[in-house]
Amino acid sequence: MTEPRPIPMIDLKAQLEVLRPEIDDAIERVLASTAFVFGPDIRELEREYADFCGTSEACGVANGTDALHLSLRAYGIGPGDEVITVANTFIATGEAILLVGATPVFVDIDADTFTLDPAQLECAITARTKLILPVHLYGHPADMEAIDEIARRYDLPVLEDAAQAHGAEWKGRRAGSLGHAACFSFYPGKNLGAYGDAGMVTSSDADFAARVRQIANHGAGTHRYDNVVLGTNSRLDTLQAAILRVKLRHLERWTEQRRTRAAAYTRALEGIPGVVLPREHADARSAWHLYTIRVPGRDALQAHLRERGIASAVHYPRPIHLQPSMAGARGKEGDLPVSELVSREVLCLPIYPELRDEDIERIASEVRSFVSEGASRR
Ligand SMILES: Cc1ncc(COP(=O)(O)O)c(C=O)c1O
């Protein structure tokens, strides 16, 4: 009997095969120009990505972590300040806050959407709060309307961590334009991924964007060697910008394909006892960066799938308030019951535009047989 085909978490080779001629042209153009730093593709990508998000500004930076870090610096956030965020996220969200010397204040999430629960937000606001930083986890936007209503009352800016949410929408408006500013990662596995590291900050506040640009370029003033604020080198490089411009042209189609795959998963997995499926809020258009189910005994299901050649991932096994590197935030077990429960149960199944219908059927039937084998053992 032939072994069934392995199903990876993501298939960048399949994507590259289709894009190859366009990517080769883009790379060749940059090589021919030798404009490796500050080449014209960067400004073009920034303009195109701002248009895509519906903002007036987009600033290319070296990666998504820097997008967060530089944004916090551009807000002037530092020691003594508090930033409200969630713990069910990639470590970079918390790192950026601690790196500027501020304190992350973690609030719990809504179990249906895995994003900041607006009902928990107001009681976390103190006189020291300077910013609200929701995360559009797995491509599902946080409830930006409810968050914005509270933020306005307290006159606080909202910075979106949209690292996983390129093309997601809330009430028809794109992630990137939902808060005062937003941070994106173009890590290769993201819905819009570079061939290396890259990131972007979007906003419609031109002064804020100018501050981000300045800090990302050694704090330079009008003259290159006139360094007026403490900055760093966090430039997006031209080759990555040229590659991202190619991929941006395909992003909307890929998002639709992800949405079709997510709907197929939901049809195929519905009704399996004990398996909680991800839900899309009525006002949201998820970009389905990940299709994340919840299941008690998650590790055993992951092993079951692995043995049958099916990859899966746990994003994230430990909420970040319990990470040793976040000790400065003084989080402890029991602080965030929903985030902690979810981290024990989440399993992300493969989802990408090239994933086939029969792959989804096979994955769903393995989840089903795992659950029924468990039931027959009880
Ligand atoms: C939610 C979230 N925030 C921030 C980041 C950081 O982005 P990067 O890896 O490009 O630094 C990521 C990337 O994995 C992420 O998923």
> What is 303-347 written as a DSSP string?
HHHHHTTB--B-S-SS-GGGSGGGGGG---TTS-HHHHHHHHHEE
Q: Is residue 6 part of a domain?
A: no
Atom of ligand 1 nearest to the CA of 197: 10
Nearest to 285 by CA among 118, 115, 110, 140: 140
Structural domain boundaries, residue 266: 251-377
Q: Is the pLDDT of residue 3 over 80?
A: no
* Across 213-217, average pLDDT: 97
Both 16 and 162 in a single domain? yes
* Across 214-232, average pLDDT: 91
Q: Is the pLDDT of residue 306 over 90?
A: yes
* Amino acid code (one letter) for 165: A
Q: Are 206 and 192 in contact (CB under 8 A)?
A: no
Q: Is the pLDDT of residue 374 over 90?
A: no
Ligand 1, pocket-test mutation among 166, 187, 320, 346, most atoms within 8 A of CB: 187
Q: What is the pLDDT of residue 41?
A: 98
Both 264 and 220 in a single domain? no
Both 242 and 292 in a single domain? no
Percent of the chain surpassing pLDDT 70: 98
* Across 320-341, average pLDDT: 95
Quote the CA–CA distance of 249 and 244 in Å, as a whole number. Answer: 9
Q: Is residue 34 part of a domain?
A: yes
Q: What is the pLDDT of residue 225?
A: 86
Quote the CA–CA distance of 266 and 22 in Å, as a whole number. Answer: 34
Nearest to 289 by CA among 269, 319, 261, 310: 261
Atom of ligand 1 nearest to the CA of 315: 16
Q: Is 139 in the pocket of ligand 1 (CB under 6 A)?
A: no
Quote the CA–CA distance of 237 and 233 in Å, as a whole number. Answer: 11
* Inter-helix orientation angle 12-33/238-269, to 10°: 170
Both 223 and 255 in a single domain? no
Mean pLDDT over each residue of the chain, to the nearest integer: 96
* Across 29-50, average pLDDT: 97
Q: Is the pLDDT of residue 1 over 90?
A: no
Ligand 1, pocket-test mutation among 65, 98, 140, 201, most atoms within 8 A of CB: 65
* Amino acid code (one letter) for 252: E
The model's confidence at residue 224, banded by pLDDT at 50, 70 and 90, is confident
* Across 141-147, average pLDDT: 98
Quote the CA–CA distance of 102 and 336 in Å, as a whole number. Answer: 20
Q: Is 160 in the pocket of ligand 1 (CB under 6 A)?
A: no
Measure CA 117 to chain center. 17
* Across 232-255, average pLDDT: 98
Q: What is the pLDDT of residue 4?
A: 85
Percent of the chain surpassing pLDDT 90: 94
The model's confidence at residue 378, banded by pLDDT at 50, 70 and 90, is low
Ligand 1, pocket-test mutation among 71, 164, 314, most atoms within 8 A of CB: 164
Q: Are 251 and 49 in contact (CB under 8 A)?
A: no
Q: What is the pLDDT of residue 328?
A: 86
Q: Is 187 in the pocket of ligand 1 (CB under 6 A)?
A: yes
Q: Is 89 in the pocket of ligand 1 (CB under 6 A)?
A: yes
Q: What is the pLDDT of residue 373?
A: 85
Cα 103 to middle of ligand 1, angstroms: 19
The total of structural domains in the chain comes to 2
Q: Is 198 in the pocket of ligand 1 (CB under 6 A)?
A: no
Q: Is 113 in the pocket of ligand 1 (CB under 6 A)?
A: no
Measure CA 142 to chain center. 11
How do strand 291-294 and strand 346-349 relate by DSSP bridges?
A: antiparallel
Quote the CA–CA distance of 57 and 50 in Å, as a whole number. Answer: 6
Q: What is the pLDDT of residue 161?
A: 98
Q: Is residue 42 part of a domain?
A: yes
Strands (E), the chain: 57-61, 82-86, 103-107, 129-132, 159-161, 169-170, 173-174, 181-185, 199-203, 284-285, 291-294, 346-349
Cα 186 to middle of ligand 1, angstroms: 8
Q: Is residue 64 part of a domain?
A: yes
Atom of ligand 1 nearest to the CA of 187: 10
Q: What is the pLDDT of residue 284?
A: 98
Both 87 and 187 in a single domain? yes
The model's confidence at residue 59, banded by pLDDT at 50, 70 and 90, is very high
CATH number, domain containing residue 276: 3.90.1150.10
Quote the CA–CA distance of 274 and 311 in Å, as a whole number. Answer: 21
Nearest to 316 by CA among 289, 295, 294, 347: 347
Q: Write down the pTM of the prediction.
A: 0.97
* Across 299-305, average pLDDT: 97
Cα 306 to middle of ligand 1, angstroms: 25
Both 52 and 20 in a single domain? yes
Both 299 and 228 in a single domain? no
Q: Is residue 125 part of a domain?
A: yes
Q: Is 55 in the pocket of ligand 1 (CB under 6 A)?
A: no
Q: Is residue 117 part of a domain?
A: yes
Last residue of a domain, one of 217, 246, 275: 246
The model's confidence at residue 37, banded by pLDDT at 50, 70 and 90, is very high
- Cβ neighbours around 12 below 10 Å, total: 15
How do residues 252-281 score in pLDDT, each as one tens digit?
Answer: 999 999 999 999 999 999 999 999 999 999
Supply the DSSP string of 273-284, one letter for each residue. TTPBPP---TTE
Q: Is 191 in the pocket of ligand 1 (CB under 6 A)?
A: no
Cα 159 to middle of ligand 1, angstroms: 14
Q: What is the pLDDT of residue 163?
A: 98
Nearest to 256 by CA among 160, 139, 347, 161: 139
Both 165 and 299 in a single domain? no
Cα 331 to middle of ligand 1, angstroms: 21
The model's confidence at residue 223, banded by pLDDT at 50, 70 and 90, is confident
Cα 230 to middle of ligand 1, angstroms: 24
Q: Is 192 in the pocket of ligand 1 (CB under 6 A)?
A: no
Q: Is 114 in the pocket of ligand 1 (CB under 6 A)?
A: no
